[in-house]
């Protein structure tokens, strides 16, 4: 098993920073290090994490000044020693827009009957993209016509006309915003906020 092509690829990607050898970790064989240590896994190398903060009311938008204040506050949460964030942006959308969870969404179900309709939804997402929350659809499972913002996602998503987004935030401990931090963002914006975590 250990010299299969899959393991060889994992070991190759783990070589920068230098892969640890079997001698450095007694009891482990070289290829298993890259495969078992989360920090060396292929997903850690290629994925991006996002915090997406949106108003609780999907139609509500802040003033540009309030948006700038919230953006600056969120950036400040990741500016301590050893902290990092690639980018913090705020975006106003013309229409109600799907704030998705990226690759964290694996299952989408019908809100009425609970049937797995993930494949059908992915087709709609390809067609409507972020506008999916503004459309109605006739569900293939129970034949009912409902707004498509009622679909049930296994990883929380949201719908909004505004977001503050932090890309690849990092700080010691929990990098998601805590309840007090969310309350402060809400104060700055002038409206309650919801936190959506996304990974691409």
**C-beta closer to Zn ion: residue 106 or 113:** 113
Token pair, residue 60, equals: 């509500």
Selection from 85, 49, 89 nearest residue 67 by Cα:
89
Q: What is the footprint of Zn ion within residues 16-75 (CB under 5 A)?
A: none
Closest CA to 123 of 139, 112, 111: 139
Which one among 74, 101, 110, 157 touches Zn ion, defined by CB under 5 A?
110
Q: Which is nearer to Zn ion, 62 or 137 (CB)?
A: 137
Q: How far is the CB of 159 from Zn ion (least distance, A)?
A: 20
Per-residue binding letters, 129-148, with Zn ion (x by CB under 5 A): ----------x-xx------
Task: Look up residue 121 and give its two tokens.
Answer: 């939804």
Under the binding rule (CB under 5 A), the answer on residue 113 touching Zn ion is: yes
Report the alpha-carbon angle 32-50-77, nearest 5.
Answer: 105
CB of 118 to Zn ion, least distance (A): 13
User: What is the number of alpha carbons within 13 Å of residue 55 lying toward its C-beta?
Assistant: 23
Query: Which residue is listed with tokens 């989408």?
Result: 108
**Residue among 13 and 112 whose Cβ is closer to Zn ion:** 112
Q: Which residues sit opposite 146 in a β-bridge? A: 137
> Would you say 27 or 143 has its CB closer to Zn ion?
143
Min dist CB 141 to Zn ion, Å, is 3
Least Cβ distance, residue 183 to Zn ion (angstroms) = 36
Query: Beta-carbon neighbour count of residue 135 at 10 Å?
Result: 12
DSSP label at 98? E
- Among 13, 42, 68, 112, the residue binding Zn ion under the rule CB under 5 A is 112
Residue nearest to Zn ion (CB): 110
**Residue whose C-alpha is closest to residue 135's, from 182, 98, 188:** 98
Residues that bind Zn ion (CB under 5 A): 110, 112-113, 115, 139, 141-142
């Amino acid at each position: 098993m250990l010299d299969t092509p899959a393991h060889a690829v994992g070991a190759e990607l783990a070589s920068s920073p230098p892969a640890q050898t079997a001698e450095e970790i007694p009891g482990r064989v070289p290829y298993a290090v890259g495969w078992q240590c989360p920090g060396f896994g292929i997903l850690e190398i290629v994925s991006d994490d996002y915090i997406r903060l949106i108003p609780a009311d999907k139609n509500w938008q802040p003033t540009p000044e309030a948006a700038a204040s919230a953006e600056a506050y969120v950036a400040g949460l990741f500016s301590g020693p050893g902290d990092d964030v690639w980018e913090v942006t705020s975006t106003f959308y013309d229409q109600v827009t799907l704030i998705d969870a990226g690759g964290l969404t694996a299952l989408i179900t019908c809100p009425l009957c609970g049937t797995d309709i993930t494949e059908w939804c992915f087709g709609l997402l390809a067609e409507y993209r972020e506008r999916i929350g503004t459309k109605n659809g006739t569900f293939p499972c129970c034949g009912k016509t409902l707004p498509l913002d009622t679909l049930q996602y296994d990883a929380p998503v949201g719908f909004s006309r505004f977001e503050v987004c932090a890309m690849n935030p990092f700080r010691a401990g929990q990098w998601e915003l805590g309840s007090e931090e969310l309350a402060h963002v809400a104060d700055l914006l002038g409206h309650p906020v919801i936190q959506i975590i996304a990974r691409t």
